[in-house]
Amino acid sequence: MLFQLSEEHLMIRKAARDFAQQECLPGVIERDEKAQFPKEQIKKLGELGFMGMMVDPAYGGSGMDTISYVLAMEEISKVEASVSVCMSVNNSLVCWGLEKYGTEAQKQKYLVPLAKGEVIGAFLLSEPEAGSDATSQRTVAEDKGDHYLVSGTKNWITNGASASIYLVMAQTHASKGSHGINALIIERDTPGVTVGAKENKMGIRASDTCSILFTDVRVPKENRIGDDGFGFSFAMKTLAGGRIGIASQALGIASGAYERALAYAKERKAFGTEIMNHQAIAFKLADMATRIEASRLLIFKAAWEKDQGLDYTASSSMAKVYASETAMWVTTEAVQVHGGYGYVKEYHVERMMRDAKITQIYEGTSEVQRIVISRSILK
Ligand code: CAA
Ligand code: FAD
Protein backbone atom coordinates (compact mmCIF):
# COMPACT_ATOMS: atom_id res chain seq x y z
CA MET A 1 0.00 0.00 0.00
CA LEU A 2 1.50 3.32 -1.14
CA PHE A 3 0.46 6.51 0.62
CA GLN A 4 2.09 8.56 -2.09
CA LEU A 5 0.69 10.64 -4.92
CA SER A 6 2.20 10.27 -8.41
CA GLU A 7 3.95 13.13 -10.21
CA GLU A 8 0.84 13.53 -12.35
CA HIS A 9 -1.41 13.76 -9.31
CA LEU A 10 0.83 16.42 -7.79
CA MET A 11 0.71 18.43 -11.04
CA ILE A 12 -3.08 18.27 -11.15
CA ARG A 13 -3.32 19.34 -7.53
CA LYS A 14 -1.02 22.28 -8.20
CA ALA A 15 -2.98 23.31 -11.29
CA ALA A 16 -6.22 23.24 -9.28
CA ARG A 17 -4.61 25.12 -6.37
CA ASP A 18 -3.25 27.83 -8.69
CA PHE A 19 -6.61 28.11 -10.42
CA ALA A 20 -8.44 28.52 -7.10
CA GLN A 21 -6.00 31.15 -5.83
CA GLN A 22 -5.83 33.15 -9.06
CA GLU A 23 -9.33 32.82 -10.49
CA CYS A 24 -11.64 32.16 -7.54
CA LEU A 25 -10.18 33.91 -4.49
CA PRO A 26 -10.30 37.51 -5.79
CA GLY A 27 -14.11 37.71 -6.18
CA VAL A 28 -15.39 34.96 -3.92
CA ILE A 29 -16.82 37.18 -1.17
CA GLU A 30 -18.63 39.43 -3.65
CA ARG A 31 -20.10 36.54 -5.65
CA ASP A 32 -21.37 34.97 -2.41
CA GLU A 33 -22.94 38.25 -1.29
CA LYS A 34 -24.57 38.97 -4.66
CA ALA A 35 -25.43 35.30 -5.33
CA GLN A 36 -23.70 35.74 -8.67
CA PHE A 37 -23.00 32.62 -10.76
CA PRO A 38 -19.23 32.16 -11.36
CA LYS A 39 -19.60 32.08 -15.14
CA GLU A 40 -16.04 33.10 -16.02
CA GLN A 41 -14.53 30.63 -13.52
CA ILE A 42 -16.58 27.76 -14.93
CA LYS A 43 -15.59 28.67 -18.49
CA LYS A 44 -11.91 28.64 -17.49
CA LEU A 45 -12.34 25.33 -15.63
CA GLY A 46 -13.61 23.90 -18.91
CA GLU A 47 -10.54 25.20 -20.75
CA LEU A 48 -8.35 23.53 -18.09
CA GLY A 49 -10.08 20.21 -18.80
CA PHE A 50 -11.69 20.08 -15.33
CA MET A 51 -15.33 19.83 -16.43
CA GLY A 52 -14.88 16.34 -17.90
CA MET A 53 -11.86 15.17 -15.92
CA MET A 54 -12.57 11.44 -15.95
CA VAL A 55 -14.05 11.25 -19.46
CA ASP A 56 -12.14 9.38 -22.17
CA PRO A 57 -10.25 11.86 -24.42
CA ALA A 58 -12.07 10.21 -27.35
CA TYR A 59 -15.18 11.99 -26.01
CA GLY A 60 -13.52 15.32 -25.26
CA GLY A 61 -12.49 14.55 -21.68
CA SER A 62 -9.17 14.60 -19.85
CA GLY A 63 -8.93 10.84 -19.21
CA MET A 64 -7.87 11.22 -15.58
CA ASP A 65 -8.58 8.91 -12.68
CA THR A 66 -10.93 9.52 -9.75
CA ILE A 67 -8.05 10.37 -7.39
CA SER A 68 -7.12 13.28 -9.70
CA TYR A 69 -10.73 14.44 -9.62
CA VAL A 70 -10.81 14.28 -5.81
CA LEU A 71 -7.58 16.30 -5.58
CA ALA A 72 -8.90 19.00 -7.91
CA MET A 73 -12.26 19.11 -6.10
CA GLU A 74 -10.53 19.56 -2.74
CA GLU A 75 -8.36 22.45 -3.93
CA ILE A 76 -11.18 24.35 -5.60
CA SER A 77 -13.55 23.75 -2.67
CA LYS A 78 -10.96 25.20 -0.29
CA VAL A 79 -11.66 28.53 -1.92
CA GLU A 80 -15.07 28.50 -3.62
CA ALA A 81 -17.58 25.71 -3.01
CA SER A 82 -20.05 27.38 -5.41
CA VAL A 83 -17.62 26.67 -8.24
CA SER A 84 -16.86 23.13 -7.13
CA VAL A 85 -20.52 22.06 -6.90
CA CYS A 86 -21.02 23.02 -10.54
CA MET A 87 -17.87 21.09 -11.42
CA SER A 88 -18.95 18.10 -9.36
CA VAL A 89 -22.42 17.81 -10.91
CA ASN A 90 -21.01 18.14 -14.43
CA ASN A 91 -18.22 15.61 -13.87
CA SER A 92 -19.62 12.92 -11.67
CA LEU A 93 -23.36 13.01 -12.26
CA VAL A 94 -23.80 14.18 -15.84
CA CYS A 95 -20.61 13.18 -17.73
CA TRP A 96 -20.08 9.93 -15.84
CA GLY A 97 -23.70 8.84 -16.30
CA LEU A 98 -23.60 9.55 -20.03
CA GLU A 99 -20.23 7.92 -20.61
CA LYS A 100 -21.12 4.79 -18.65
CA TYR A 101 -24.68 4.22 -19.87
CA GLY A 102 -25.26 6.46 -22.91
CA THR A 103 -25.44 5.27 -26.53
CA GLU A 104 -22.70 6.23 -28.98
CA ALA A 105 -25.02 8.82 -30.56
CA GLN A 106 -25.85 10.32 -27.13
CA LYS A 107 -22.16 10.52 -26.30
CA GLN A 108 -21.27 12.26 -29.56
CA LYS A 109 -24.13 14.73 -29.30
CA TYR A 110 -24.14 15.49 -25.56
CA LEU A 111 -21.10 14.11 -23.75
CA VAL A 112 -18.46 15.68 -26.02
CA PRO A 113 -19.52 19.33 -25.48
CA LEU A 114 -20.15 18.66 -21.76
CA ALA A 115 -16.73 17.09 -21.22
CA LYS A 116 -15.02 19.93 -23.09
CA GLY A 117 -16.81 22.41 -20.83
CA GLU A 118 -18.52 24.06 -23.81
CA VAL A 119 -21.90 23.53 -22.16
CA ILE A 120 -23.01 22.70 -18.60
CA GLY A 121 -25.19 19.82 -17.46
CA ALA A 122 -27.64 19.27 -14.60
CA PHE A 123 -29.07 16.20 -12.85
CA LEU A 124 -32.79 16.31 -12.09
CA LEU A 125 -33.97 13.77 -9.56
CA SER A 126 -35.45 15.70 -6.60
CA GLU A 127 -39.03 16.92 -6.61
CA PRO A 128 -41.08 19.03 -4.17
CA GLU A 129 -42.33 15.82 -2.53
CA ALA A 130 -39.60 13.36 -3.49
CA GLY A 131 -36.20 14.18 -2.02
CA SER A 132 -34.79 11.40 0.17
CA ASP A 133 -37.76 9.29 -0.88
CA ALA A 134 -36.53 9.36 -4.45
CA THR A 135 -38.57 6.42 -5.76
CA SER A 136 -41.77 8.51 -5.30
CA GLN A 137 -41.29 10.33 -8.59
CA ARG A 138 -44.33 12.31 -9.71
CA THR A 139 -42.87 13.73 -12.88
CA VAL A 140 -44.38 11.62 -15.63
CA ALA A 141 -42.80 10.49 -18.90
CA GLU A 142 -45.76 9.13 -20.85
CA ASP A 143 -44.78 6.62 -23.52
CA LYS A 144 -46.12 7.85 -26.87
CA GLY A 145 -44.44 5.30 -29.13
CA ASP A 146 -41.52 7.13 -30.73
CA HIS A 147 -41.31 9.77 -27.96
CA TYR A 148 -42.11 10.55 -24.32
CA LEU A 149 -44.33 13.37 -23.14
CA VAL A 150 -42.84 14.74 -19.91
CA SER A 151 -44.77 16.77 -17.32
CA GLY A 152 -43.91 17.64 -13.72
CA THR A 153 -41.68 19.73 -11.48
CA LYS A 154 -38.10 19.18 -10.35
CA ASN A 155 -36.77 21.04 -7.32
CA TRP A 156 -33.44 22.36 -6.11
CA ILE A 157 -31.63 21.83 -9.39
CA THR A 158 -27.94 22.80 -9.28
CA ASN A 159 -26.90 24.52 -12.54
CA GLY A 160 -30.63 24.71 -13.29
CA ALA A 161 -30.43 28.07 -15.05
CA SER A 162 -26.93 27.76 -16.51
CA ALA A 163 -27.14 24.23 -17.85
CA SER A 164 -28.34 23.48 -21.35
CA ILE A 165 -28.49 19.69 -20.94
CA TYR A 166 -30.63 18.04 -18.30
CA LEU A 167 -30.61 14.40 -17.19
CA VAL A 168 -34.16 13.93 -15.94
CA MET A 169 -35.66 11.05 -13.96
CA ALA A 170 -39.40 10.54 -14.59
CA GLN A 171 -42.03 7.86 -14.00
CA THR A 172 -43.32 5.94 -17.02
CA HIS A 173 -44.92 2.83 -15.45
CA ALA A 174 -46.23 3.92 -12.03
CA SER A 175 -47.39 0.39 -11.15
CA LYS A 176 -43.77 -0.82 -11.37
CA GLY A 177 -42.51 1.66 -8.73
CA SER A 178 -38.78 2.27 -8.93
CA HIS A 179 -38.58 -0.11 -11.93
CA GLY A 180 -40.95 2.14 -13.92
CA ILE A 181 -38.67 5.19 -13.84
CA ASN A 182 -36.75 6.36 -16.92
CA ALA A 183 -33.71 8.62 -17.26
CA LEU A 184 -34.09 11.04 -20.17
CA ILE A 185 -31.80 13.62 -21.75
CA ILE A 186 -33.74 16.84 -22.20
CA GLU A 187 -32.37 19.95 -23.87
CA ARG A 188 -33.26 23.07 -21.92
CA ASP A 189 -34.47 24.87 -25.04
CA THR A 190 -37.15 22.24 -25.76
CA PRO A 191 -40.67 23.79 -25.82
CA GLY A 192 -42.47 23.24 -22.50
CA VAL A 193 -39.37 23.58 -20.30
CA THR A 194 -39.53 26.50 -17.83
CA VAL A 195 -36.70 27.49 -15.50
CA GLY A 196 -37.98 28.74 -12.12
CA ALA A 197 -36.51 31.52 -9.99
CA LYS A 198 -33.09 31.09 -8.38
CA GLU A 199 -33.27 30.06 -4.71
CA ASN A 200 -31.92 32.55 -2.12
CA LYS A 201 -29.69 30.20 -0.12
CA MET A 202 -27.77 30.08 3.15
CA GLY A 203 -24.57 28.82 1.50
CA ILE A 204 -23.09 28.02 -1.92
CA ARG A 205 -24.96 31.21 -2.79
CA ALA A 206 -23.17 31.80 -6.08
CA SER A 207 -24.22 28.44 -7.49
CA ASP A 208 -27.56 28.54 -9.21
CA THR A 209 -30.28 26.36 -7.76
CA CYS A 210 -33.72 26.47 -9.41
CA SER A 211 -36.85 24.48 -9.91
CA ILE A 212 -37.50 23.28 -13.45
CA LEU A 213 -41.03 22.81 -14.77
CA PHE A 214 -41.96 20.47 -17.60
CA THR A 215 -45.26 20.88 -19.44
CA ASP A 216 -45.92 18.30 -22.16
CA VAL A 217 -42.28 18.26 -23.18
CA ARG A 218 -41.71 16.02 -26.21
CA VAL A 219 -38.57 13.92 -25.77
CA PRO A 220 -37.48 11.53 -28.55
CA LYS A 221 -37.09 7.88 -27.48
CA GLU A 222 -33.44 7.93 -28.54
CA ASN A 223 -32.85 10.30 -25.59
CA ARG A 224 -33.64 7.59 -23.03
CA ILE A 225 -30.57 6.34 -21.15
CA GLY A 226 -30.47 2.54 -20.89
CA ASP A 227 -33.41 0.16 -21.10
CA ASP A 228 -37.01 1.02 -20.27
CA GLY A 229 -37.25 1.28 -16.46
CA PHE A 230 -33.50 1.71 -15.85
CA GLY A 231 -33.86 5.30 -14.58
CA PHE A 232 -33.84 4.73 -10.81
CA SER A 233 -30.95 2.30 -10.97
CA PHE A 234 -29.15 4.84 -13.21
CA ALA A 235 -29.72 7.58 -10.63
CA MET A 236 -28.47 5.45 -7.72
CA LYS A 237 -25.37 4.20 -9.54
CA THR A 238 -24.54 7.72 -10.67
CA LEU A 239 -25.06 9.15 -7.18
CA ALA A 240 -22.63 6.62 -5.70
CA GLY A 241 -19.86 8.32 -7.68
CA GLY A 242 -21.36 11.77 -7.13
CA ARG A 243 -21.06 11.27 -3.39
CA ILE A 244 -17.27 10.92 -3.77
CA GLY A 245 -17.32 14.35 -5.42
CA ILE A 246 -19.40 15.93 -2.65
CA ALA A 247 -17.23 14.26 0.00
CA SER A 248 -14.22 15.91 -1.68
CA GLN A 249 -16.06 19.21 -1.67
CA ALA A 250 -16.66 18.83 2.08
CA LEU A 251 -12.99 17.91 2.54
CA GLY A 252 -11.93 21.06 0.69
CA ILE A 253 -14.23 23.30 2.71
CA ALA A 254 -12.87 21.74 5.93
CA SER A 255 -9.22 21.97 4.93
CA GLY A 256 -9.67 25.55 3.67
CA ALA A 257 -11.13 26.59 7.03
CA TYR A 258 -8.45 24.65 8.94
CA GLU A 259 -5.62 26.34 7.02
CA ARG A 260 -7.09 29.75 7.81
CA ALA A 261 -7.59 28.85 11.50
CA LEU A 262 -4.01 27.55 11.76
CA ALA A 263 -2.52 30.69 10.22
CA TYR A 264 -4.66 32.90 12.44
CA ALA A 265 -3.75 30.99 15.61
CA LYS A 266 -0.06 31.56 14.83
CA GLU A 267 -0.41 35.33 14.56
CA ARG A 268 -3.23 36.40 16.89
CA LYS A 269 -2.07 37.24 20.39
CA ALA A 270 -4.06 37.07 23.64
CA PHE A 271 -2.73 37.08 27.20
CA GLY A 272 0.75 37.91 25.96
CA THR A 273 1.19 34.99 23.59
CA GLU A 274 -0.01 33.67 20.21
CA ILE A 275 -3.34 31.91 20.76
CA MET A 276 -1.88 28.64 19.41
CA ASN A 277 0.01 28.46 22.70
CA HIS A 278 -3.26 28.07 24.58
CA GLN A 279 -3.91 24.36 24.73
CA ALA A 280 -7.65 24.79 24.12
CA ILE A 281 -6.81 26.24 20.69
CA ALA A 282 -3.96 23.80 19.96
CA PHE A 283 -6.25 20.84 20.69
CA LYS A 284 -8.95 22.22 18.41
CA LEU A 285 -6.35 22.39 15.62
CA ALA A 286 -5.19 18.85 16.43
CA ASP A 287 -8.74 17.51 16.21
CA MET A 288 -9.37 19.41 12.98
CA ALA A 289 -6.22 17.98 11.37
CA THR A 290 -7.11 14.45 12.52
CA ARG A 291 -10.69 14.50 11.25
CA ILE A 292 -9.61 16.05 7.93
CA GLU A 293 -6.99 13.35 7.43
CA ALA A 294 -9.51 10.60 8.25
CA SER A 295 -11.94 12.12 5.73
CA ARG A 296 -9.24 12.24 3.07
CA LEU A 297 -8.34 8.58 3.58
CA LEU A 298 -11.99 7.49 3.33
CA ILE A 299 -12.38 9.51 0.14
CA PHE A 300 -9.18 8.14 -1.42
CA LYS A 301 -10.33 4.60 -0.58
CA ALA A 302 -13.70 5.11 -2.29
CA ALA A 303 -12.02 6.76 -5.30
CA TRP A 304 -9.48 3.96 -5.54
CA GLU A 305 -12.24 1.32 -5.41
CA LYS A 306 -14.06 3.13 -8.22
CA ASP A 307 -10.91 3.21 -10.36
CA GLN A 308 -10.35 -0.50 -9.69
CA GLY A 309 -13.88 -1.37 -10.82
CA LEU A 310 -14.86 -2.55 -7.32
CA ASP A 311 -18.19 -1.83 -5.60
CA TYR A 312 -17.85 1.60 -3.97
CA THR A 313 -21.49 2.22 -2.97
CA ALA A 314 -20.98 1.90 0.79
CA SER A 315 -17.51 3.47 0.85
CA SER A 316 -18.68 6.56 -1.02
CA SER A 317 -21.52 6.98 1.49
CA MET A 318 -19.06 6.53 4.38
CA ALA A 319 -16.73 9.11 2.85
CA LYS A 320 -19.59 11.56 2.29
CA VAL A 321 -21.17 11.30 5.72
CA TYR A 322 -17.84 11.50 7.51
CA ALA A 323 -16.37 14.32 5.41
CA SER A 324 -19.54 16.43 5.50
CA GLU A 325 -19.93 16.12 9.27
CA THR A 326 -16.23 16.97 9.58
CA ALA A 327 -16.70 20.03 7.36
CA MET A 328 -19.55 21.30 9.53
CA TRP A 329 -17.58 20.75 12.73
CA VAL A 330 -14.26 22.12 11.45
CA THR A 331 -15.78 25.28 9.95
CA THR A 332 -17.71 26.01 13.16
CA GLU A 333 -14.51 25.62 15.19
CA ALA A 334 -12.57 27.72 12.66
CA VAL A 335 -15.00 30.58 13.32
CA GLN A 336 -14.42 30.03 17.06
CA VAL A 337 -10.63 30.18 16.65
CA HIS A 338 -11.06 33.52 14.85
CA GLY A 339 -13.22 34.94 17.66
CA GLY A 340 -15.20 38.02 16.54
CA TYR A 341 -13.19 38.27 13.32
CA GLY A 342 -14.54 34.88 12.31
CA TYR A 343 -18.04 36.31 12.33
CA VAL A 344 -17.40 38.82 9.55
CA LYS A 345 -17.11 38.13 5.84
CA GLU A 346 -13.53 39.35 5.22
CA TYR A 347 -12.07 36.38 7.10
CA HIS A 348 -13.83 33.79 4.85
CA VAL A 349 -14.55 31.21 7.56
CA GLU A 350 -18.17 32.31 8.13
CA ARG A 351 -18.87 31.61 4.42
CA MET A 352 -17.18 28.22 4.73
CA MET A 353 -19.41 27.41 7.71
CA ARG A 354 -22.52 28.30 5.69
CA ASP A 355 -21.22 26.36 2.66
CA ALA A 356 -20.39 23.28 4.76
CA LYS A 357 -24.03 22.73 5.76
CA ILE A 358 -25.22 21.78 2.30
CA THR A 359 -22.77 18.88 2.08
CA GLN A 360 -24.84 17.17 4.81
CA ILE A 361 -28.00 17.56 2.72
CA TYR A 362 -27.52 17.19 -1.02
CA GLU A 363 -26.71 14.01 -2.95
CA GLY A 364 -28.39 12.21 -0.06
CA THR A 365 -28.68 13.58 3.50
CA SER A 366 -26.48 12.20 6.27
CA GLU A 367 -29.47 10.07 7.30
CA VAL A 368 -29.71 8.63 3.77
CA GLN A 369 -25.98 7.83 3.75
CA ARG A 370 -26.50 5.92 7.00
CA ILE A 371 -29.36 4.01 5.36
CA VAL A 372 -27.06 3.02 2.48
CA ILE A 373 -24.20 2.05 4.83
CA SER A 374 -26.37 0.12 7.28
CA ARG A 375 -28.11 -1.81 4.48
CA SER A 376 -24.71 -2.74 3.10
CA ILE A 377 -23.35 -4.02 6.43
CA LEU A 378 -26.60 -5.72 7.49
CA LYS A 379 -27.42 -7.54 4.25
N1 CAA B 1 -27.45 0.65 -7.64
C2 CAA B 1 -28.38 -0.02 -8.34
N3 CAA B 1 -29.64 -0.23 -7.92
C4 CAA B 1 -29.97 0.28 -6.73
C5 CAA B 1 -29.07 0.99 -5.92
C6 CAA B 1 -27.75 1.16 -6.43
N7 CAA B 1 -26.80 1.84 -5.73
N8 CAA B 1 -29.69 1.36 -4.79
C9 CAA B 1 -30.95 0.89 -4.86
N10 CAA B 1 -31.11 0.24 -6.05
C11 CAA B 1 -32.31 -0.48 -6.49
C12 CAA B 1 -32.69 -1.47 -5.42
O13 CAA B 1 -32.01 -2.69 -5.57
C14 CAA B 1 -34.18 -1.64 -5.63
O15 CAA B 1 -34.42 -2.57 -6.67
P16 CAA B 1 -35.21 -3.97 -6.32
O17 CAA B 1 -36.60 -3.53 -5.96
O18 CAA B 1 -35.10 -4.74 -7.57
O19 CAA B 1 -34.47 -4.56 -5.17
C20 CAA B 1 -34.61 -0.26 -6.14
O21 CAA B 1 -33.42 0.41 -6.61
C22 CAA B 1 -35.22 0.58 -5.03
O23 CAA B 1 -34.25 0.67 -4.01
P24 CAA B 1 -34.60 0.74 -2.48
O25 CAA B 1 -35.67 -0.26 -2.14
O26 CAA B 1 -33.33 0.67 -1.72
O27 CAA B 1 -35.24 2.21 -2.41
P28 CAA B 1 -35.66 3.06 -1.17
O29 CAA B 1 -36.96 3.68 -1.50
O30 CAA B 1 -35.53 2.31 0.09
O31 CAA B 1 -34.57 4.28 -1.21
C32 CAA B 1 -32.48 5.37 -0.85
C33 CAA B 1 -33.21 4.07 -1.06
C34 CAA B 1 -31.02 5.02 -0.62
C35 CAA B 1 -33.01 6.15 0.35
C36 CAA B 1 -32.59 6.25 -2.13
O37 CAA B 1 -33.92 6.61 -2.42
C38 CAA B 1 -31.73 7.50 -2.07
O39 CAA B 1 -30.54 7.45 -2.33
N40 CAA B 1 -32.32 8.68 -1.73
C41 CAA B 1 -31.59 9.94 -1.74
C42 CAA B 1 -31.71 10.61 -3.08
C43 CAA B 1 -30.54 11.48 -3.38
O44 CAA B 1 -29.40 11.20 -3.05
N45 CAA B 1 -30.80 12.56 -4.11
C46 CAA B 1 -29.77 13.41 -4.59
C47 CAA B 1 -30.27 14.23 -5.74
S48 CAA B 1 -28.96 14.88 -6.76
C49 CAA B 1 -28.26 16.09 -5.86
O50 CAA B 1 -28.56 16.29 -4.72
C51 CAA B 1 -27.16 16.86 -6.59
C52 CAA B 1 -26.63 17.98 -5.83
O53 CAA B 1 -27.18 18.42 -4.85
C54 CAA B 1 -25.43 18.65 -6.19
P1 FAD C 1 -36.57 15.21 2.93
O2 FAD C 1 -36.35 14.00 2.12
O3 FAD C 1 -37.95 15.70 3.08
O4 FAD C 1 -35.89 15.03 4.34
C5 FAD C 1 -36.20 15.84 5.47
C6 FAD C 1 -35.45 15.26 6.66
O7 FAD C 1 -35.94 13.94 6.95
C8 FAD C 1 -33.95 15.09 6.41
O9 FAD C 1 -33.23 15.32 7.60
C10 FAD C 1 -33.83 13.62 6.02
O11 FAD C 1 -32.55 13.08 6.22
C12 FAD C 1 -34.88 13.00 6.93
N13 FAD C 1 -35.37 11.72 6.41
C14 FAD C 1 -36.12 11.49 5.31
N15 FAD C 1 -36.34 10.19 5.14
C16 FAD C 1 -35.73 9.55 6.17
C17 FAD C 1 -35.57 8.19 6.55
N18 FAD C 1 -36.10 7.19 5.85
N19 FAD C 1 -34.86 7.91 7.66
C20 FAD C 1 -34.30 8.92 8.39
N21 FAD C 1 -34.40 10.22 8.07
C22 FAD C 1 -35.10 10.53 6.98
N23 FAD C 1 -31.49 17.43 -6.23
C24 FAD C 1 -31.33 17.06 -7.52
O25 FAD C 1 -31.98 16.15 -8.00
N26 FAD C 1 -30.41 17.69 -8.31
C27 FAD C 1 -29.65 18.71 -7.87
O28 FAD C 1 -28.83 19.24 -8.63
C29 FAD C 1 -29.82 19.14 -6.52
N30 FAD C 1 -29.09 20.18 -6.04
C31 FAD C 1 -29.41 20.68 -4.78
C32 FAD C 1 -28.80 21.88 -4.35
C33 FAD C 1 -29.18 22.45 -3.14
C34 FAD C 1 -28.56 23.73 -2.71
C35 FAD C 1 -30.15 21.81 -2.32
C36 FAD C 1 -30.61 22.41 -1.03
C37 FAD C 1 -30.68 20.60 -2.72
C38 FAD C 1 -30.33 20.04 -3.96
N39 FAD C 1 -30.94 18.87 -4.42
C40 FAD C 1 -30.76 18.47 -5.72
C41 FAD C 1 -31.93 18.21 -3.61
C42 FAD C 1 -31.33 17.37 -2.48
O43 FAD C 1 -30.74 16.21 -2.99
C44 FAD C 1 -32.47 17.08 -1.49
O45 FAD C 1 -32.76 18.29 -0.84
C46 FAD C 1 -32.10 15.99 -0.52
O47 FAD C 1 -31.97 14.75 -1.15
C48 FAD C 1 -33.13 15.88 0.65
O49 FAD C 1 -34.43 15.84 0.17
P50 FAD C 1 -35.57 16.82 0.79
O51 FAD C 1 -35.02 18.19 0.72
O52 FAD C 1 -36.84 16.54 0.10
O53 FAD C 1 -35.68 16.41 2.31
The answer to whether 51 touches 92, Cβ cutoff 8 Å, is no
Give the closest residue (by CA) to ligand 1 atom 40: 132
Chain segment 268-296, per-residue pLDDT in tens = 999 999 999 999 999 999 999 999 999 99
Query: What's domain 7-120's superfamily in CATH?
Result: Acyl-CoA dehydrogenase/oxidase, N-terminal domain (1.10.540.10)
pLDDT tier, 7 (very low <50, low <70, confident <90, very high otherwise): very high
Domain with residues 122-231, CATH architecture: Beta Barrel (2.40)
Q: How far apart are CA 96 and CA 115, in angstroms?
A: 10
Q: Are 7-120 and 122-231 equal in CATH topology?
A: no
Chain segment 189-238, per-residue pLDDT in tens = 999 999 999 999 999 999 999 999 999 999 999 999 999 999 999 999 99
Q: Is the pLDDT of residue 379 over 90?
A: no
pLDDT tier, 300 (very low <50, low <70, confident <90, very high otherwise): very high
The Å distance, Cα 306 to ligand 2 centre, comes to 25
Asked whether the ipTM of the predicted complex exceeds the cut of 0.85, the reply is: yes
Q: Where are the domains of the chain?
A: 7-120, 122-231, 240-378
Share of the chain above pLDDT 70, in %: 100
State residue 40's pLDDT score.
Answer: 97
Q: What is the CATH number of domain 240-378?
A: 1.20.140.10
Model confidence, pTM: 0.98
Among 95, 176, 233, residue to substitute to test ligand 1 (most atoms within 8 Å of Cβ) = 233
The Å distance, Cα 197 to ligand 1 centre, comes to 28
Mean pLDDT of the chain: 98
The answer to whether 301 touches 310, Cβ cutoff 8 Å, is no
Q: Is the pLDDT of residue 156 over 90?
A: yes
8 tagged catalytic: no
State residue 85's pLDDT score.
Answer: 98
Q: How far apart are CA 230 and CA 176, in angstroms?
A: 11
The set of protein residues with a Cβ atom below 6 angstroms from ligand 2 is 89, 122-126, 131-133, 156-158, 201, 204, 209, 358, 361-365, 367-368
State residue 217's pLDDT score.
Answer: 98
Give me the mean pLDDT over the 14-39 stretch.
98
Query: 153: which DSSP letter?
Result: E
Give me the mean pLDDT over the 145-167 stretch.
98
Q: Is the pLDDT of residue 360 over 90?
A: yes
The answer to whether 171 touches 138, Cβ cutoff 8 Å, is yes
The Å distance, Cα 319 to ligand 2 centre, comes to 18
Q: For residue 115, which phi and psi values (nearest 5 degrees)?
A: -70, -30
The Å distance, Cα 126 to ligand 1 centre, comes to 12
pLDDT tier, 13 (very low <50, low <70, confident <90, very high otherwise): very high
Q: For residue 227, which phi and psi values (nearest 5 degrees)?
A: -70, 165
State residue 359's pLDDT score.
Answer: 98
Give the closest residue (by CA) to ligand 2 atom 29: 157
